[in-house]
Amino acid sequence: MGTIDGLPPLRDVIRLHELVAKKQLGQNFLLDLNLTAKIARLAGDLSACDVLEVGPGPGGLTRGLLAEGARRVVVVEKDPRCLPALEEIAQTYPGRLQVLQGDALELDLAAHLNGPVRIISNLPYNVGTELLIRWLSPSVWPPFWSSLTLMFQREVAERIVAKPKSDHYGRLALLAQWRADAKIVMHLPPEAFTPAPKVHSAVVHLTRLETPRYPADAAVLSRVTAMAFNQRRKMLRSSLKGLGGDVEGMLEGVGILPTARAEEIGLEHFCALARAVAARSA
């Protein structure tokens, strides 16, 4: 298979640098450069953007982003074995690729980026959901990014876009849809990766809203939804007992039946409940 940039095929890169994927790092490499270029295009025009990529591995998606015209790409890679391969890409695209070695959960990523910023990543399985929640939950909104184009296990992707009363609906859907428009834009089978995972994958595109859909304090909403979905099958009057006080009266005050379950309640009512909790604590 040919390449998109004159660099060697990714299978050759992996063999040359002995990059056997490590399960403990959540690594599954996407080797088809046509697919990585397609993912880059799904994020829109990148020519005026800085792009953040977490977990580039041997650089398949990195090469797609650069070949598709990203103004500048900043990658964060925890595995030092991948750095030589990424440096070769940096030499092919002078001044357009910055490589940071470290843990994305510990670095101040925004400090290395100039807006507008798009985050595009095949996220390591073991930290993907945590990173998404952090990007969706800053204390100040709008955040440093304008859109997220992220690959997850298909089940996680379905949780992000789920609607009330569906099997996948939960806290992740609420946090994502409160502040962003979210949709699944691509599905990938296990055989697209090396090594092939046991699950299918999907790419989710999230476009931030300039203001949340409904007013609420982010920390309070996060706390309320965590409590509500911690025991999905319990009635809200039971799962929210930890809030203290007259929980039933507070639920009724915002139009929620105390006997309802969390998976039956939409975003608007959860935001109203978060406002009520905040007002009671003020």
3-state secondary structure 130-164: HHHHHHHCCCCCCCCCCEEEEEEEHHHHHHHHCCC
pLDDT interval class at 272 (50, 70, 90) = very high
pLDDT higher than threshold 50 for residue 1: no
DSSP assignment, residue 150? E
Measure the N-to-C terminal CA separation of the chain; round to a whole number of Å. 63
Token pair, residue 123, equals 């996220």
pLDDT digits (tens, 9 = 90+) for 187-217: 999 988 877 788 899 999 999 999 999 999 9
Peptide bond into 116 cis (omega under 30): yes
C-alpha 234/C-alpha 131 separation (Å) is: 28
pLDDT higher than threshold 80 for residue 264: yes
Q: Please report the pLDDT score of residue 126 as a whole number.
A: 82
Closest CA to 179 of 224, 147, 227, 226: 147
Q: Is the pTM of this model over 0.85?
A: yes
Token pair, residue 22, equals 């490590």
Beta-bridge partners for 203: 151, 186
What are the CA-CA distances from residue 88 to residues 84, 132, 150, 262, 276 (Å)?
6, 29, 24, 50, 55
